[in-house]
Structure 1
Amino acid sequence: MSESDQAIFPDLKGASIFITGGGSGIGAALTEGFLAQGAKVAFIGRSDASEFAAEMGEKYGNAPLFIQGDITDMAQLTGALEQAQAAHGPVTALVNNAANDKRHSAEEVTEDFWDWMIAINLKAYFFACQAVLPQMRAAGFGSIINFSSISYMMGNAGYPIYTTSNSGINGMTRSLAREFGPDHIRVNALAPGWVLTDKQKEMWVTPEALEGHMERQCLPDTLDPEDIVGGVLFLASKSSRMMTGQALVIDGGVVVTG
C-alpha cells in the first residue's frame, strides 16, 4: 500500500505516540505511518536507529525522538516513556511492538532463556502499560496497542515461549481494558500474520515454508510491514473510540472464523 492510499485520522495530528522497537521492521513502518499523520513519535530500540530518525525528519519535517535502550531493563523503558512525555507531552498512544521470535524447542529451554524470552515478549509489555497509565490519565484518554501474533492461534511449533507470550498478551489486554476503561483508556491487541520483514527474509523465509504458509491464506499476496500500519492507526485514533479489549487480526485470512 502506498503512502497516499492510507486513510487520514485528523485526531492523530500532533498526538504523542510511543512505539517499542520503532526503528526497524514493522516498527519502522509504524513510526513512518504516524509521522505521515502529523503525530509526534518517540520510539525505543536496542540498535542504533539515529540514521532512520534523521531520514524521517528530512522526509516529514518532523523527526521522531529515538531513544536507544533495552525494553527488558525496566528503568530504561520507563525512563524512555518519561523522555517522550517531556518532549511531546503525555503519551496518548502506546504501541507495544518489540518482540523476539527466536526459534527454540521445548527440550532445549533453560530457566535463563525462559526468563529472557518472557522479559522481551510479555514482561516489557505489562510494565510499559503500567508506566504510561499516569500520562494517559493526565491527558484524559489513551489507546494501548499490544502486538501479539497468529502463531499461538495456529498452534505453531518451534518457539513455544513466544507463542505462550502471545497468548498471555491477549489475556493481559482483556484484563487491562477492564481495569483502565474507567479512565477512558482503551487496550487492544493486534495479531499480524507472517509479515515479510528483512529479518524474517534473512532468517526464516524459505520457498518451501512460504509456499506452505501461503496455501493457508485466503488472500494470495504476502504481508509487508506497511500492511499492518492502517490497523494500528485505526486503533490509536478516536475512530475506534468504543473498541477495547479486542484482538484485531491482520494475516491475509489464515486464522479465519466461522
Structure 2
Amino acid sequence: MSGRAIYPSLKGKRVVITGGGSGIGAGVVERFVDQGSEVHFLDVAEEDSRALAERLGTPSFHRCDLTDPGAIAETFARIGPVDVLVNNAARDDRHGLDEVTADYFDRSMAVNLRHLLLCAREVAPGMKARGGGAIVNLGSISWHLGLPGLVAYETAKAGIEGMTRALARELGGAGTRVTCVIPGNVQTPRQMQWYTPEAEAEIIASQCLAGRLQPSDVAALVLFLASDDARLCTGHEYWIDAGWR
C-alpha cells in the first residue's frame, strides 16, 4: 500500500484478530493482509465478515462466539500455532448503573474482558514453541476519561490494562510480548450512531490534532507493536487518540 509502512518480519506470520469483521478489527485485518501475513479473524457477525473476507481474498473468517470458552478452544485448535494475536473484540453498549444486574455485569465481562485472557491462554504454548510471539490487546480511552453510561464496559477495559502487564511478565520468559493499544474516538459506523455532528465536533476540538481517527490509524500502531521492530516493547499501553486525553 503506497505511503504505508511494510514490516518484513510480519510476512508469512500467522495472525489472529478477534472481532475482525467490522470497525477497527476490519481495519487491522486489512493492514495485516497488506503485510503478506496469514490472517485469520474471529467474529459472530457473519454477513460483514464474509463480505470482508471476499473483498480481501486471503483472510480466513472463523465464526466464533467469544463468550463460549469451548468455542474459543475449538477455533484456535483448528487454526494451529499463532505468531500474533490481536485481542480486539468488544461491545460498548450504553447503560446506566441501575441496569447493571449481576447477570448484565457477567455478560459484559464475558464480551469485553474474559475472552482476551482465554485467547491468550490458547496461543501461549504455540508462541513459546516458536520462540515467542506478540499479543496486542485493545483497550479504551473511555475509562481514562470517565465517560458516562459505560460503567461495566469501562470496568472491563480498565482490567485489560492490568491483564496486559500481568501477561507480559508471565510470558516474557518465553519471548512473548504483550502490549495494549488505547484508541481515542475512532470513526466507525458503530461509533457514529452515538454522536451527533455537534458532539463529534466537540471531540475534535478537544484533541491536540484536528484529524479524525480512522481504523487504519489504530491498525498502524498495532502493526508496529506486532512486528520485530517493537522487539523490546512489552507490558505497557500505547495511545492513539490525537491528544484527546
TM-score normalised according to structure 2 size: 0.97
Q: How does 1:1-258 map to 2 (within 5 A)?
A: 3-48=1-46, 49-57=49-57, 63-85=58-80, 90-201=81-192, 203-255=193-245
Query: Could you say what secondary structure the match of 2:239 adopts?
Result: strand
**Partner Cα separation in structure 2 for residue 69 and residue 128 of structure 1:** 12
**Residue deviations 1:114-163, cap 9 Å, x none?**
11111011101111111111111111110000000111111111101111
**Cα distance in 1 between the residues matched to 2:70 and 2:39:** 20
**Structure 1 Cα separation of the partners of residues 200 and 230 of structure 2:** 33
The CA deviation at 1:111 is 1.2
How far is the alpha carbon of 1:200 from its aligned partner?
1.2
Gaps of 5+ in 1: 58-62
C-alpha separation in 2, matches of 1:199 and 1:8 = 29
SS of match in other structure, 1:179: helix
Instruction: Give the letter for the 1:239 counterpart.
Output: D
1:83 maps to a residue whose letter is R
Partner of 1:60: none
Deviations 1:64-107 (A, max 9, x none): 1100121111111122222221xxxx201000000000000112
The percentage of aligned residue pairs carrying the same residue is 43
Paired AA for residue 80 in structure 1: T
Between the aligned partners of 1:83 and 1:183, the Cα distance in structure 2 is 23
Secondary structure of the 1:4 match is coil
User: Is contact 1:65-1:84 (8 Å) kept?
Assistant: no
TM-fit CA distance, 1:5: 1.8
Contact 1:98 1:121 in 2 (8 A): yes
What residue ranges of structure 2 are gaps of 5+ in the alignment? Answer: none
Deviations 1:168-221 (A, max 9, x none): 0000100110010000000000000000101112x2021122122122100011
State how far apart, in whole Å, the 2-side matches of 1:207 and 1:55 are. Answer: 30
Give the whole-Å Cα distance in 2 for the aligned partners of 1:84 and 1:41.
Answer: 10
Quote the Cα distance in structure 2 between the aligned partners of 1:44 and 1:116.
Answer: 19
Matches of 1:83 and 1:218, distance apart in 2: 44
Task: Specify the SS of the correspondent of 2:178.
Answer: strand
- Which amino acid is the alignment partner of residue 56 of structure 2? M
Structure 1 residue runs of 4+, over 2 Å off?
none
